[in-house]
């Protein structure tokens, strides 16, 4: 009983950039501005996909879900990061840490599945346009989006449930800005092999499978586009999926860069690498959600028109 009591950790200390206070102030301003752009851009996209009847299709329904998801994903961590930049001693309770891990993990897994769903939507639109209204009817795309959220939530619940059952004794300093699950697992004073295996399986399901699905979908899409006789027809077909493809490349490209870059073998460079790894992870969490609405608004004529109509209605009411 005594050992069990000693193993309980009431709170964690988030290291962040505590050893570099000058950088904290700079990054506070930068991350705050990026967060405001995320809220504004994605908030506008959610609003136009709901208010404009011309956007009540599967493509824009998925886009609205993606924008709402990006708001939820960043809101689950960025306010904590911003508070940490201004607080000398950055602490978070064990329960709050578990909630933050659950939300971040759930949103990340959901986005992977949702991007796969959006690839299927583009595949049907280009490769089978005559059946598109039937295949991607409201009775189909609403359950598809709901299943993305459900799958992400269930996966996160499993991973976080396994993590919080571990004993944490002694060191409670998380070398990160937030309760990043891998950083938290390093503090456990027990065997985490089950957690590692479980997360490995989840990565295959929620990263590997969607990537493979998207890759195969775009092979069929590209093949179909190249068969179109006119250059104008090819350009129009490609414009239908270019925004989604750009988002996919940025999303998975950033992940690949984070986990595939070589580790420093020089012990003197480990501290600098820790800082760079944390900053890369931080900017990954805000870069894609910030770029998504910019990409879709700049490259999509329907969204541009809907935003102009919304702005016109605001001006008219005033």
User: pLDDT by residue (tens digit) across 229-270?
Assistant: 888 888 888 887 888 888 888 888 777 766 655 554 444 444
User: pLDDT by residue (tens digit) across 32-42?
Assistant: 999 999 999 99
Which residues are paired to 226 by β-bridges?
none
Let me know: does 112 contact 205? Beta carbons within 8 Å: no
The pLDDT, as a whole number, for residue 274 is 64
The pLDDT, as a whole number, for residue 212 is 94
Residues of 42-61 as b/e, b for ≥16 C-beta within 10 angstroms? bebbbebbeebeebebbbbb
Helix or strand or coil: residue 143? helix
CA gap 233, 82 in Å, rounded = 47
CA gap 181, 271 in Å, rounded = 20
The pLDDT, as a whole number, for residue 117 is 94
* CA distance readout (Å), 100 to 106, 187, 279: 10, 17, 19
Strands 173-174 and 91-93: unpaired
Whose CA is closest to 286, among 254, 261, 244, 246? 254
Let me know: does 73 contact 110? Beta carbons within 8 Å: no
List strand residue ranges (DSSP E) for the chain, in order. 11-14, 91-93, 173-174
Would you give per-residue pLDDT tens digits along the chain (318 residues)?
A: 444 444 477 788 888 777 777 778 888 999 999 999 999 999 999 998 898 888 889 999 999 999 999 999 999 989 988 888 888 778 888 889 999 999 988 998 999 999 999 999 999 999 998 999 999 999 999 999 999 999 999 999 999 999 988 888 777 888 888 888 888 888 888 888 999 999 999 989 998 999 999 999 999 999 999 998 888 888 888 887 888 888 888 888 777 766 655 554 444 444 455 667 777 777 778 888 998 888 887 667 777 777 777 666 655 555
CA gap 71, 41 in Å, rounded = 10
The pLDDT, as a whole number, for residue 260 is 57
CA distance from start to end of the chain: 67
CA gap 70, 249 in Å, rounded = 16
Query: In CATH, what number does 11-255+275-311 get?
Result: 1.20.1070.10
């Amino acid at each position: 009983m005594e050992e069990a009591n000693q193993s309980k950790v009431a709170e964690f200390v988030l290291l962040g950039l505590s050893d570099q206070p000058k950088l904290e102030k700079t990054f506070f301003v930068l991350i705050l501005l990026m967060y405001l752009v995320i809220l504004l851009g994605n908030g506008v996209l959610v609003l136009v996909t709901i208010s404009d009847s011309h956007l009540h299709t599967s493509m824009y329904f998925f886009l609205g879900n993606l924008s709402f998801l990006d708001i939820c994903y960043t809101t689950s961590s960025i306010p904590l990061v911003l508070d940490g930049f201004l607080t000398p001693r950055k602490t978070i309770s064990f329960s709050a840490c578990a909630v933050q891990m659950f939300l971040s993990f759930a949103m990340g897994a959901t986005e992977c599945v949702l991007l796969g769903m959006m690839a299927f939507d583009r595949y049907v639109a280009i490769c089978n346009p005559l059946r598109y209204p039937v295949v991607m009817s409201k009775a189909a795309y609403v359950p598809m989006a709901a299943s993305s959220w459900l799958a992400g939530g269930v996966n996160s619940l499993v991973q976080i449930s396994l993590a919080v059952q571990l004993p944490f004794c002694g060191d409670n300093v998380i070398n990160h800005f937030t309760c990043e699950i891998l950083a938290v697992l390093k503090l456990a004073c027990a065997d985490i092999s089950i957690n590692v295996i479980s997360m490995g399986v989840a990565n295959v399901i929620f990263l590997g499978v969607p990537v493979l699905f998207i890759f195969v979908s775009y092979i069929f899409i590209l093949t179909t586009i190249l068969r179109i006789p006119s250059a104008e027809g090819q350009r129009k077909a490609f414009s239908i999926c270019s925004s989604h493809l750009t988002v996919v490349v940025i999303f998975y490209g950033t992940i690949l860069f984070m986990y595939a870059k070589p580790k420093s073998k020089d012990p003197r460079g480990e501290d600098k690498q820790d800082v760079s790894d944390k900053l890369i992870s931080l900017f990954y969490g805000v870069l894609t959600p910030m770029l998504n609405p910019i990409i879709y608004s700049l490259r999509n004529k329907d969204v541009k028109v809907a935003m102009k109509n919304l702005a016109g209605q605001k001006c008219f009411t005033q």
